Structure 1
Amino acid sequence: MKTKFLLLPILSFVTLLFISCSNDDDPITISEYTDATTFFNELNYSGSVLISKNGNDILRTGFGIANKTTVDPNAISTQFRIGSVSKTLTGMGIVQLKRDGLINSYDQPLSDFDDSFPHGNQITLRHLLSHQSGLPDYVPMVEPNAKSGQSFTPETILEIVKNQVSENGLNFEPGSSVAYSNTNFLILALLIEELSGNSYENYITENVLEPLNMTETEMGNDEISGENYAQGYNGNENVSEYPMQIAFGAGCWTSSVTDLEKWCRAAMGDNWFSPDEKQAIFGEDVPEETTAFELAWFRSKIDGKTFLWHGGDIDGFASLIGFVPESNSVLITLSNEQDDSGTTRNAIIETIVKNEL
C-alpha cells in the first residue's frame, strides 16, 4: 500500500496534482484530445473504465490484459484491488454509526472511545476522516516486515502507532494542518468494530454493499486467484501478493467498475445521504483548480465543475472513482498497472473532467 504524505496549513488548499505526485515526475503528454477511447489507448492503459454523463455512457470497456499468464483481457466485470478508494467505504461506516446513534458527533474526541490513546482528547473523528489528526502513517512502520512474512493484526498496528505517538508526539496539532495518513482509517475501521459489535467486513457489507447490491465487492486476499480477478503488475512483474491485513480499513477492498458505479451514484443521488449528511461529508465549494480534503472524499474544482472523488494505490493497482453532481457524471478507472507517481491518474482527472464531464 503506497504511502502518501502532505503537510500544509489547513486554511490553504491543495492543487489538483497533489495526490502521489513528486517533483521528479513530468506530467504525461498526449496528442490533442479527440475522444476518450483514443486518450486511454494513448496512455497504454490497462484496466477497466467507465465514463458516463447525464445517464449516457461515453465509455464502458476494458483495456489491456488482466492476467499476462492466461492473457485474459480486462473487462467491465473484472475485479481489482481498489487501494485507498476503500476509505470511502470506511467513511460510510462512520456515517452509519452516527445514524445508529453509536456516535454523537463527528467532533467527538478519540478519547471518548479509547482513553489510553495519546493525545486522544485533541483528535476528533472529523480530524481522522479529513486527515487532520497529525498521526503518523503506519505503513512504512510495518509494510517491509509484513512483506517479509511477519504477521500484523490491525490491533497490533494500533499499539505500534500508540507507542510511536507516546514517544514522539503528533506530527502537528490536530486541526492545524492536513497530512494524508492511512492510520486515520485503520483507527476508524477498528472503531466500527468496537461500537457495532460486528466485524468491520460484516458491518460494511450489511450497511453498504448489500443495500446497493454491490455483489462484486469483497475484502481482498493476500494472493489473487480466479478468472474474474485482475493480477497487479509493476511493469512486467506480477506484484499481486500483498499482506492485505495491514491495509485494514485504509485499502483492503476489491471491487469492479460496475459495483463502484452503484456506490458513486448512491453518493451523488438524493436518497442515500440526507442534505445535512452531504453538507458534512462533501463540504463547501473550493476555488478553481484546487482540491480540499473533506470527510473521506476529496473535493476539486476543475474547469468550473465540482469533482468529488478518491484515488487509490496498492502494489500493482491504481484506482479512481469520482462524480460531477451538476451533470450527473461518473468517472471510474481501475487499473492493474502500478502508478507510483500518480501521473496517469492526474492526467485522467484533468483530461476527462474537462473534456467529457
Structure 2
Amino acid sequence: MRFLQFTPYIFILLLASCQKDKNTAETTDTDQNAKDTVLHITPLDVKLNKLTANWKNAKANSVKQFYNKTWPKDDLSGGFLVAKNGQILFETYGGYANRKNKTEIDANTPIHLASVSKVLTAAVVLKLIDLEKLDIDAKVNSILPEFPYEDISIKMLLNHRSGLPNYAYFGDDRAIWDRSMMKNQDILDLLALHKFGLYFKPDKKFGYCNTNYAILALVIEKVTKMNYRDAMKKIIFDPLGMKNTYVFDYYKDKETASQSYKGNNVLYDYDFLDNIYGDKNIYSTPRDMLKFDLATYSKKFLNPKLVKQVFQGYSYEHKGERNYGLGIRMHEWKTGEKLFYHNGWWHGNTSSYVTLKGDTVAMIALSNKFSYKPYKIWKLSTLFGKYPIKQDKEDGAE
C-alpha cells in the first residue's frame, strides 16, 4: 500500500505547524537551563512560547510540595512529570524496574501504561480515519467479517458504547478458555464462536470495556496490514521520537521489561492475559508521553474537525461531570472548564495521564508498584486554571 510506504513522510508534514499558546505566563526570553530544554518532536518541533523563570520556579515549587506530600517517604516506584508548553516544571523517578536485579527506574525506563495505552491506540485509529483509510462510522464486521455483532461501529469501540462483554470475564471461564496465553485473535474467535450476549444494545449507553480496544487493535492490523506492534511503532512512536515506548511481547520481553509489584513489593506474576494489546501492554515513559501530548497541539496532527470529535462527550444518559470521548476521559463542569485524562491499572501497574488543553499542561504519573497515588496528580490542575476540583476527593482508578 502506498500509505504504508510513505507513512514517515506523511507524518513529517502532519507535524509541521502548531499554534502558539497565549497567556501572561509566557515570554520570548531565550535564557533556559539545558536540563529544562523543551522536549522535541522528531523530526520537527512543536513550538510553544517559553515561560518566564519566575513563573516556572513558582509553579515548580508548588508541584514539588504536592509531590512530597503525596509520596512523603520517597516511595515512588516509577516516574512523575508535570510540564507546561513542553517545558518540564518538575520530574522525578524512583524505585526499581526489577527488584531482584536492583535495576533502578530512571527517565528512560519504560513502565506499563495499563489503560493509558488506550489513548495511543485511539490515536492510531484516528490517524487512519484522518487519512481516509478507515471510516469512523464503519461497522466493525465490514473490516473483521467474523465479528458477530452487526450494529457495532468503530466509534462505539472508541467511546465504549458497544455493549461488548469483557474478555477477561469469559476468558476466565475454563469451559470457554483453557487459560493458555490468549491473543487478540482468540478474543475475536471466541466472540464469533459463542456469540456472547451484549451487556446492552449498541450505542444505548456507556460501558467501559477492554474488549473494545482489543478489537480496535485487530482493526489496525487489518487496515495497515501490519502487526499492531509494528503499526504503533511506525505510525506514532517513531515519528514522535518516542524512543523508549514499545508494545510488550510476552515471548520476547518478559525477562527484560519493567516488572510489576504489589503494594507490599511482592512480584506480580504474568498470567494468560498478558499478551493482549490495544487496551493495555504499551510500555512508555513520562517524557515520551509528553512528546505525544505536544503533538496533539499541532493542528495538522489530526484534522481539526476530527479533534473536536475526540474531545467531546458521548454519554449523557446520566447527569454528572464525567464523560468519555474517543480514547480519552473527561471532566466537564457547569462552569465551562474541561479536563481530559486517562487512568490505568493492570496488575501492580497504575498510571495517569492528564492533559489540560486550554492551558497546554501535561501531567503524567506512572508506577510499577500498586498505588492509588498516581491518580491524585489531576489535583494539580488547580495550579494552572480555574478547575473546580475538591482537594479532599479521591479520583477513581478507571
Contact 1:137 1:182 in 2 (8 A): yes
The one-letter code sitting in structure 1 at the alignment partner of 2:217 is A
Change in CA separation of 1:109 and 1:63 when aligned onto 2, cut-off 3 Å: same
The one-letter code sitting in structure 2 at the alignment partner of 1:91 is A
Whole-angstrom CA distance in 2 between matches of 1:144 and 1:338 = 26
1:234-253 matches, within 5 Å, as 234=262, 235-243=264-272, 246-253=275-282
| Match 1:204 to one of 212, 217, 232 | 232
Other-structure match for 1:193: 221
Change in CA separation of 1:307 and 1:286 when aligned onto 2, cut-off 3 Å: farther
The one-letter code sitting in structure 2 at the alignment partner of 1:207 is I
Aligned length: 316
Q: 3-state DSSP class of the match of 2:192?
A: helix
1:47-62 matches, within 5 Å, as 47-62=78-93
Whole-angstrom CA distance in 1 between matches of 2:362 and 2:177 = 35
- Using the size of structure 2 for normalisation, the TM-score is 0.71
| Match 2:147 to one of 103, 110, 117 | 117
Residue 323, structure 1, aligned to residue 355, structure 2: yes
Whole-angstrom CA distance in 2 between matches of 1:81 and 1:143 = 22
Other-structure match for 1:154: 184
Contact 2:313 2:323 in 1 (8 A): no
1:342-357 matches, within 5 Å, as 343-349=372-378, 351-355=379-383
Contact 1:268 1:323 in 2 (8 A): no
1:105-144 matches, within 5 Å, as 105-120=135-150, 122-142=151-171
Other-structure match for 2:28: none
Whole-angstrom CA distance in 1 between matches of 2:129 and 2:305 = 12
Residue 338, structure 1, aligned to residue 367, structure 2: no
- Using the size of structure 1 for normalisation, the TM-score is 0.79
Q: 3-state DSSP class of the match of 1:238?
A: coil
Q: Compare the two structures and name the one with the higher strand fraction.
A: 1
Whole-angstrom CA distance in 1 between matches of 2:315 and 2:89 = 27
Whole-angstrom CA distance in 1 between matches of 2:98 and 2:275 = 25
Whole-angstrom CA distance in 1 between matches of 2:228 and 2:64 = 44
Deviation at 1:149, TM superposition (A): 5.9
Contact 2:313 2:324 in 1 (8 A): no
Other-structure match for 2:395: none
The one-letter code sitting in structure 1 at the alignment partner of 2:164 is L
Residue 90, structure 1, aligned to residue 118, structure 2: no
Deviation at 1:130, TM superposition (A): 0.4
Whole-angstrom CA distance in 1 between matches of 2:289 and 2:271 = 22
Q: 3-state DSSP class of the match of 2:79?
A: strand
The one-letter code sitting in structure 1 at the alignment partner of 2:69 is F
Q: 3-state DSSP class of the match of 1:299?
A: strand
Q: 3-state DSSP class of the match of 1:178?
A: coil
Q: Which runs of 5+ in 1 are unaligned?
A: 1-31
Deviation at 1:128, TM superposition (A): 0.5
Q: Select the structure with the greater relative contact order (CA < 8 A; seq sep ≥ 6).
A: 1
Deviation at 1:115, TM superposition (A): 4.2
Residue 255, structure 1, aligned to residue 300, structure 2: no
| Match 2:304 to one of 275, 289, 292 | 275
- Backbone CA RMSD of aligned residues: 3.0
Change in CA separation of 1:149 and 1:128 when aligned onto 2, cut-off 3 Å: closer
The one-letter code sitting in structure 2 at the alignment partner of 1:37 is Y
Deviation at 1:202, TM superposition (A): 1.4
| Match 2:324 to one of 289, 293, 305 | 293
Residue 214, structure 1, aligned to residue 245, structure 2: no
Other-structure match for 1:79: 110
Q: Report which of the two structures shows the higher radius of gyration computed on alpha carbons.
A: 2
Contact 2:146 2:188 in 1 (8 A): no
| Match 2:205 to one of 162, 165, 177 | 177
Deviation at 1:42, TM superposition (A): 2.8
The one-letter code sitting in structure 2 at the alignment partner of 1:209 is F
The one-letter code sitting in structure 2 at the alignment partner of 1:354 is T
Change in CA separation of 1:140 and 1:286 when aligned onto 2, cut-off 3 Å: closer
Change in CA separation of 1:163 and 1:100 when aligned onto 2, cut-off 3 Å: same
Change in CA separation of 1:123 and 1:285 when aligned onto 2, cut-off 3 Å: closer
Deviation at 1:281, TM superposition (A): 1.1
Deviation at 1:245, TM superposition (A): 5.3
Deviation at 1:240, TM superposition (A): 5.0
The one-letter code sitting in structure 2 at the alignment partner of 1:71 is K
Whole-angstrom CA distance in 2 between matches of 1:233 and 1:177 = 35
Contact 2:314 2:323 in 1 (8 A): no
Whole-angstrom CA distance in 1 between matches of 2:108 and 2:199 = 41
Q: Residues 277-307 of structure 1, C-alpha deviation per residue, up to 9 Å, x if partnerless?
A: 2101111699998221111111224796422
Q: Which has the larger displacement, 244-253 or 183-192?
A: 244-253
| Match 1:69 to one of 80, 90, 100 | 100
Residue 307, structure 1, aligned to residue 307, structure 2: no
